[in-house]
Amino acid sequence: MSFGLDIFESGGDLTYSTSDVTWNQVDFFQVNAGGSASNSYPSISGRSVLTAQFWINGPPANRKAIAHSITVSGTNVSVSGGSEDAYVMVLMK
Amino acid sequence: MSYGFLALNDNNEVLVSSDTRNLHFLGKYTTPASTVYSTNTHGGFRHWKYTVTSSRVPVVFMYMPTTEYYAVVRTTTGSASNTYDIEVIRSGTSSTTPDVYVFADPRASTATDNYGLVVYKDDGTAAFDSRLRPLAVTGGVVVTHPSNPKGSISSSLDCKNCNSSNSAAGSVFAPDQFNTYAVSGQPSKPMFFFASLAQAQREVYHSCNEWECDGISVKGNCVGVEREYKWESFYWTFYRGGISWDSGNVKAGWVSAAFGCRWTYQKDSAFIGIGTGGDSGSGGEWPYTNETINLQNNAVIIGDASRYD
């Protein structure tokens, strides 16, 4: 390579390099049923942002389980409106 | 940034940053700890629980060995310390299980090697550790599930006491709708992150009546003892969103995750038009709603599973 970063393991095999792509974890937090959150992350400014939520308690089949709404505006990530406990993951690259 | 470490990749995207944390490989699980539920009707359904060891909330990727629909539906703390239970569902009737690849931020692992590159956050904890096999992704797509799990539902199920078999009801409700997203350039053994949100429920209602007259029927009126019977049956199926990988396409489709039926029965008796009492009964589980919810965009992240085998 003429520029960039190569990281090798002790055996000499390439582990990671600037030809790789990843999603970096900016935050990982829990939002409870009926709860909300609003966090600011300066590090996501100008970057692609991806969010995901995981059910903590498996959604039941005998009532409506509403997922949280997650919005990204500038460097702010807001979560609200869900009827279930969930983990929220914020990723950027 | 005015201090710290930042490495951008060839696409000018963040690869390593002291402001964030990379996800690192924790382990691969090829066998579920238990089977939560299994049925071969309604298009087939498998529900497994994997117990993974991690001190941090794990981020799970699935290697999907068949073209059926898979999804992670639950991530919760396990009964033992530093464990999480990951629940995975799949459509279809085969016994094949997905391989689960678990990632978490570097605080969940301790490297045994002393050769590599470690980047720390300003609090002194690791943001990146090359010894812990950081996650590299090969692609991704945002999917939305079709609003209907099944294009049309045509039913001739039994109106009386939910008497139709699960097999018969399953033929009515087996899902067949999906949205297709072409994703090119993926490895021969891709692994997928997908946390299911979409849900749907569909129901069919059947009712019927019978009338008996022990006397003479005159212009539709019974002169004598009469009985009127009414039966109602609500057959229903609950679906959850899943994804499949099929020849370079991610498909967002549905998995039948639960089903049931609720019935009611009523008998009214009369003698020459005067009510003399009746009888009634009910049983089974009610359907709770007949709609599709959580149809927001769902992220699918793709990586190369062979890199972590």
Instruction: Classify residue B283: in a domain, yes or no.
Output: yes
- Give the domain extent around B73: 6-141
Backbone angles phi, psi at B215, to 5 degrees: -105, -130
Residues B104 and B217 in one domain: no
**Same domain, yes or no, for B38 and B159?**
no
Same domain, B161 and B267: yes
Half-sphere exposure of B287 (CA within 13 A, CB side): 20
Mean pLDDT of B232-247: 96
> B242, B254 in Cβ contact below 8 A?
yes
Q: Is residue B92 included in any domain, yes or no? A: yes
How far apart (Å, rounded) are the C-alpha atoms in residues A50 and B139? 13
Of B105, B113, B117, the CB nearest to A7: B117
**ipTM of the modeled complex:** 0.93
Q: In angstroms, what separates the C-alpha of B131 from chain A's closest C-alpha?
A: 7
Reported confidence tier of residue B296, pLDDT bands at 50, 70, 90: confident
Q: Are residues B268 and B283 in the same domain?
A: yes
Does B305 map to a domain? no
User: Would residue B184 count as lying in a domain?
Assistant: no
pTM of the model: 0.91
Same domain, yes or no, for B156 and B281? Answer: yes
The number of folded domains in chain B is 2
Please state the domain extents for chain A.
22-92
Distance CA B98, CA B76 (A): 19
Establish if B160 belongs to a structural domain.
yes
Residue B188 lies in a domain: no
Instruction: Give B231 to chain A, closest Cα distance, Å.
Output: 23
Kindly write down the DSSP assignment for every residue of B36-56, as one continuous string: EEEESSTT-EEEEEEEEE-SS
Among A60-74, B20-34, B120-134, the range scoring the smallest mean pLDDT is A60-74
Would residue B69 count as lying in a domain? yes
Name the amino acid, one letter, at A19: S
CA distances from A58 to B77, B146, B254, B291 (A): 12, 22, 16, 19
Domain check: are B156 and B28 in the same one?
A: no
Residue A1 pLDDT: 55
Asked if the structure places residue B204 within a domain, the reply is yes
Q: Considering only B58-72, B172-186, B282-296, which range has the smallest mean pLDDT?
A: B282-296
What's the mean pLDDT when you consider all of chain B? 93
Instruction: Tell me the count of A-B CB pairs closer than 8 A.
Output: 137
Instruction: Tell whether B223 and B285 lie within a shared domain.
Output: yes
Q: Find chain B residues with C-beta within 8 A of A32's C-beta.
A: none
Kindly report the nearest CA distance between residue A79 and chain B, in angstroms.
14
| pLDDT score of B1 more than 60 | no
B98 and B17 within one domain: yes
The answer on B164 and B91 residing in a single domain is: no
Interface test with A, best of B34, B197, B296 (most A CBs within 10 A): B197
**Residues B80 and B113 occupy one common structural domain:** yes
Same domain for B205 and B127: no
Helix (H, G, I), strand (E, B) or coil at B308: helix
pLDDT tens, position by position, A20-78: 999 999 999 999 999 999 999 999 999 999 999 999 987 777 778 999 999 999 999 99
Q: B83 with B212, same domain?
A: no
Please check the confidence at residue B214 and state whether its pLDDT lies above 90. Answer: no
